[in-house]
Amino acid sequence: MIAVGCDHAGYELKQEVISHLTEKGYEIMDLGCNGESCDYPIIAKAVAENILNKKCDKGILICGTGIGMSIAANKIHGIRAALCSDYFSAKYTRLHNDANVMCIGARTIGVGLALELADVFLETEFEGGRHQRRLDLIHEIENNN
Ligand code: RB5
């Protein structure tokens, strides 16, 4: 199950992402918004919670720039949210960071690229090995702060 959320700036792109992923066979948990003006931290928190409680495997968050969503999501321990606007980053944040949330900006990239980023983000597995040691260090930072 993939959690998807947006604010008003990301609503149209969220609908595109959801229909694309649904067509590809993914199950989607749509956590809003539904186009109305809303505050992105509330949506980021809802997506994060559904990943941490294991109802969802990964999440995609969309706002105007993707920045607000990524700042908010990364405040939650256990969430590794990557703001992506290029293919390489979307792939390597899975391989090296085991990112569990990808944030995208509806006002910064087009629909075609956004769908490509969603595909590669969801299809790429974490490499583990030396990268796990680095994630362990991130958990240590979370636990000490
Ligand atoms: C909303 O206008 C905008 O501030 C929001 O979508 C996002 O870009 C914040 O980072």
Query: Can 38 be counted among the known catalytic residues?
Result: no
What lies within 8 Å, CB to CB, of 87 at 6+ separation is 113, 116, 117, 120
Q: What is the dihedral of CA 94, 100, 106, 110, to 10 degrees?
A: 30
Residue 137 lies in domain = 2-144
DSSP reduced 3-state for 109: coil
Kindly report the CATH number assigned to the domain that includes residue 24.
Answer: 3.40.1400.10
What does the pLDDT look like over 30-78, one tens digit per residue? 999 999 999 999 999 999 999 999 999 999 999 999 999 999 999 999 9
Cα angle for residues 15, 47, 17 (degrees, 5° grid): 20
Instruction: Kindly report the protein residue whose alpha carbon is nearest to atom 5 of ligand 1.
Output: 64
Domains contained in the chain, number:
1
What's the whole-number mean pLDDT along residues 86-90? Answer: 98
Catalytic residue among 63, 77, 84, 139: 63
Report the pLDDT averaged over residues 85-98.
98
